[in-house]
Amino acid sequence: MSSTYPGFRVKFSRNVVSWVGELQPSAISETYTVKIDFRLRARPKVWVLSPVLKRRDPKEKIRHTFSDGSICLHLHEEWAPEMFIAERIVPWLALWLLHYEVWHATGKWLGGGHEPTARK
């Protein structure tokens, strides 16, 4: 990961290897500090540390985020542990950040994707 993305810094804690780095999805976009937690036998968890993500409307959740605030970048089946984070997650995260800004600008999420139906 560090060799692919030289700007990212690595941290180790109990079961998690975290990478923290900065992404700017387009030349006129903000620069975001992001964190990717790589956990054993589980999908990575992706966070945007700063600037803090905001809703457009207090009642409307930010698109494609989990209830814990982490970012959802792919369907379950699009990930397997043997995939390299660098190869997949970081580019998807950059794209998500671009669409997040455009959603704030226009009110429209133009990146496609699924929102699950609500579970009772």
Q: Provide the binding-site residues for other proteins, judged by CB under 8 A.
A: 4-7, 21-31, 63-67, 72-76, 78, 86-88, 90-99, 101-102, 104-108, 110-116
Q: How far is the CB of 76 from other proteins (least distance, A)?
A: 5
Q: Which is nearer to other proteins, 11 or 84 (CB)?
A: 84
**Class of residue 11 by CB neighbours under 10 A (exposed 0-12, middle 13-18, buried 19+):** exposed
Q: Which residue has the tokens 């669409």?
A: 99
Complex with other proteins: residue 30 or 81, whichever CB lies closer: 30
Q: What DSSP element (H or E) covers 99?
A: helix 85-106
16 vs 8: CA distance, rounded Å = 16
The CB-of-39 to other proteins minimum distance in angstroms stands at 13
